[in-house]
Amino acid sequence: MTRLVPVFVSILIAVLLTSILTLALGESPLVVAEVLLRGSIGTPTAFGYTLYYATPLIFTGLAVAWALKAGLFNIGAEGQMTMGGIAMAAVGIVLADLPGFIAWPLAVFAGFLAGAFWGGMVAWLKIRRGVHEVLGSILFNFISYGIAGFVILDLLRNHESQNPETLPIGQSYHLQALSDLVGIGGTSPLNTAFFLALAVALLVDVVLQRTLFGLRIRWTGGAPEFARRSGVSISATTLKAFAISGGIAGLAGASAVLGYMHKAREGFAAGAGFVGIAVALLGGARAWGVVAAAILFGGLQKGSLDLDLDTENISRDLAIVVQALIVLAVASRGALVELWLLLKAKYESSKARQV
């Protein structure tokens, strides 16, 4: 339980700072909070949207958290997600007539492979050419936008549509909406990709905690020199870990591409890769933490959409501000704990003096 305290304190600090910003912009923090809550959990449909927004964040959050366990910083989840989504759409368009039981699993697998390839290249550049993975990931993000633009606007473009989007994928690729399937989520686009995300979260947790493979990944991240001297290949582990991280991020497009739009639209990743970093830093110690953080951030994103309409001066971008502040607060929790211990020691010594 004590491990959760700094997390809650971090959230509290972020809320406080956001309130100050809101006040400075001439809006009441209470009004903003009310809009956010109503927009995210006010109705079944709103909550369905929250979970829909959370779905890609679970994937990208898991991807970043997984890489962090291996001592790697994957800030390329956005690009991996983009490549994965494009691959899913491409499979769904090119092989549109496959039967249902094989179609969507194949698309999901293609998404995983594309993301894994994208992540694997960054890892390869790190291992073989010494290019830091942070820089490599960022540059690969930009390249993936270009490739996605090429596929969506040129290669597989739907010329009959006004929007920048691809042709529709085959019917057998569609992931079912949960409102149709089990009657939850109101009229939101929440679909079975959410369950896929939960399954991947469970799998990640089991692999990391209970298998030799997961242990070696954590070992390489936590004590690389020790692992090396025990016969673990650091390069191979790095490559595998980063490729799998990329693969998990590659699945993140499933919810939008296979479950809702049934095509790839330009910019479908919508920053989920970057928010995934915040999700992983907030809840990344364990997989269920990632799920919780993703739902929190999903709610924030959904709720903030209404800010554009319901307030004069504040836009949906406030969600990004809150997320950034949470990351900052989480990142500096070491200093927060130190400060707390210092104050406690001061308090105790002053009490001791009184006695």
Partner 1 sequence: MQTGRVEFQNITRICEPSKYRALDGVSAKFEAGQIHAVLGENGAGKSTLMKILFGLVRPNEGTVHVNGSVAKFASPTDAIRTGLGMVQQHFSLVETLSVIDNIMLGHESTLGGGRLDRARAIQELEEALPSEDLRLDWNRLVGELSIGEQQRVEILKLIARKAQILVLDEPTAVLSPREIESLFKILKDLKARGRTVFVITHKLSEVFDHCDTWMVLRAGKFVGSGEIAKTTRSEIVRAMVGADVPPLADRVKMQVDLAKPAIRVSNLSAETSSGRLGALKFSVHPGEIVGIAGVDGSGQTELVNSLIGIQSFSGEVEVLGNRVEGTFDETQASNCLAGLLASGLALVSEDRHHQGLWMDQSVWLNANLGYKNESWLHLGDWATEAERFAREYDVRAPGLGTEVRNLSGGNQQKLIFAREMMSRPVKLLIAHQPTRGVDLAAVQLIHGKILAARAAGAAVLVISSELDELFALSDRLLVMAGGVFSGEFFREGGDGFDRDRVGDAMILGKRGST
Partner 2 sequence: MDLVVAFLESTIRLSVPLLFAALGGLISERSGLANVALEGKLLISAFVGAAVAATTGNPWLALTAGVLSGALGGWIFGVLSVFTKADHIVVGIAFNMLVAGIIPTVCRAMFGGTGGTPQLAIETRMPAPIAGDFTFFGAALLLCWMLHWGLRETKWGLRLKAAGDQPVALIVQGVNPNWIRVWAGALAGACVGFGGIDLSMVQGSGYIRDMAGGRGFIALAALILGGWRPVPTAIACLVFAAADATQMLLQGQKLFGFNVPNSLVQIVPYLVTIGVLALRFGGKGMLAPKAINQPINP
Q: Does 73 bind partner 2 (CB under 8 A)?
A: yes
Q: How far is the CB of 339 from partner 1 (least distance, A)?
A: 17
Q: Does 224 bind partner 2 (CB under 8 A)?
A: no
- Are the beta carbons of 254 and 193 closer than 8 angstroms? yes
Binding site partner of 352, from partner 1, partner 2, none, Cβ cut-off 5-8 A by kind: none
Task: Choose which of 23, 25, 102, 341 interacts with partner 2 (CB under 8 A).
Answer: 25
Binding site partner of 132, from partner 1, partner 2, none, Cβ cut-off 5-8 A by kind: partner 2
Inter-residue long-range contacts of 37-41, CB under 8 Å, 24+ positions, other chains counted: 37/303, 38/303, 38/306, 39/302, 39/303, 39/304, 39/305, 39/306, 40/298, 40/299, 40/300, 40/302, 40/303, 41/299
Q: Which is nearer to partner 1, 229 or 351 (CB)?
A: 229
Nearest CA to 15 among 352, 331, 351, 325? 325
Binding site partner of 278, from partner 1, partner 2, none, Cβ cut-off 5-8 A by kind: partner 2
Torsion angles phi and psi, residue 19, rounded to 5: -60, -40
Binding site partner of 36, from partner 1, partner 2, none, Cβ cut-off 5-8 A by kind: none
Q: CA dist 231 to 66, 68, 152, 235, 323, Å? A: 22, 22, 46, 12, 40
Nearest CA to 78 among 36, 124, 140? 140
Structure tokens at 270: 């919508």
Q: Does 274 bind partner 2 (CB under 8 A)?
A: yes
- Are the beta carbons of 140 and 79 closer than 8 angstroms? yes
Distance between CA atoms of 19 and 303, rounded to whole angstroms?
Answer: 16
Q: Does 154 bind partner 2 (CB under 8 A)?
A: yes
Q: How far is the CB of 281 from partner 1 (least distance, A)?
A: 18
Q: How far is the CB of 75 from partner 1 (least distance, A)?
A: 24
Torsion angles phi and psi, residue 165, rounded to 5: -150, 165
Q: How far is the CB of 224 from partner 1 (least distance, A)?
A: 8
Distance between CA atoms of 119 and 276, rounded to whole angstroms?
Answer: 15
Q: How far is CA 341 from the centre of its chain?
A: 33
Binding site partner of 195, from partner 2, partner 1, none, Cβ cut-off 5-8 A by kind: none
Q: How far is the CB of 3 from partner 1 (least distance, A)?
A: 13
Q: Scanning residues 293 to 352, which ones bind partner 2 (CB under 8 A)?
A: 313-315, 317-325, 327-328, 331-332, 334-335
- CB-facing half-sphere around the CA of 144: CA atoms within 13 A: 31
Binding site partner of 139, from partner 2, partner 1, none, Cβ cut-off 5-8 A by kind: partner 2
Binding site partner of 135, from partner 1, partner 2, none, Cβ cut-off 5-8 A by kind: partner 2
Torsion angles phi and psi, residue 251, rounded to 5: -75, -15
Q: Which is nearer to partner 1, 68 or 91 (CB)?
A: 68
Stretch near partner 2 under the rule CB under 8 A, chosen from 121-129, 165-173, 211-219, 293-301: 121-129
Instruction: Kindly provide the b/e burial profile for residues 285-294, where b requires at least 16 CB atoms within 10 angstroms of the residue's own CB.
Output: ebbebbbbbb
Structure tokens at 224: 């690389």
Chain residues that interact with partner 1, rule: CB under 8 A: 210-213, 215, 219, 222-223, 225-226, 228-236
> Token pair 């936008």 is at which residue?
145
Q: How far is the CB of 254 from partner 2 (least distance, A)?
A: 23
Task: Choose which of 16, 20, 37, 128 interacts with partner 2 (CB under 8 A).
Answer: 128
Q: How far is the CB of 184 from partner 2 (least distance, A)?
A: 31
Q: Scanning residues 163 to 222, which ones bind partner 2 (CB under 8 A)?
A: none
Distance between CA atoms of 106 and 173, rounded to whole angstroms?
Answer: 9
Contacting residues toward partner 2, per CB under 8 A: 21, 25-26, 73, 75, 125, 128-132, 134-136, 138-140, 142-143, 145-150, 153-154, 274, 277-278, 281, 313-315, 317-325, 327-328, 331-332, 334-335
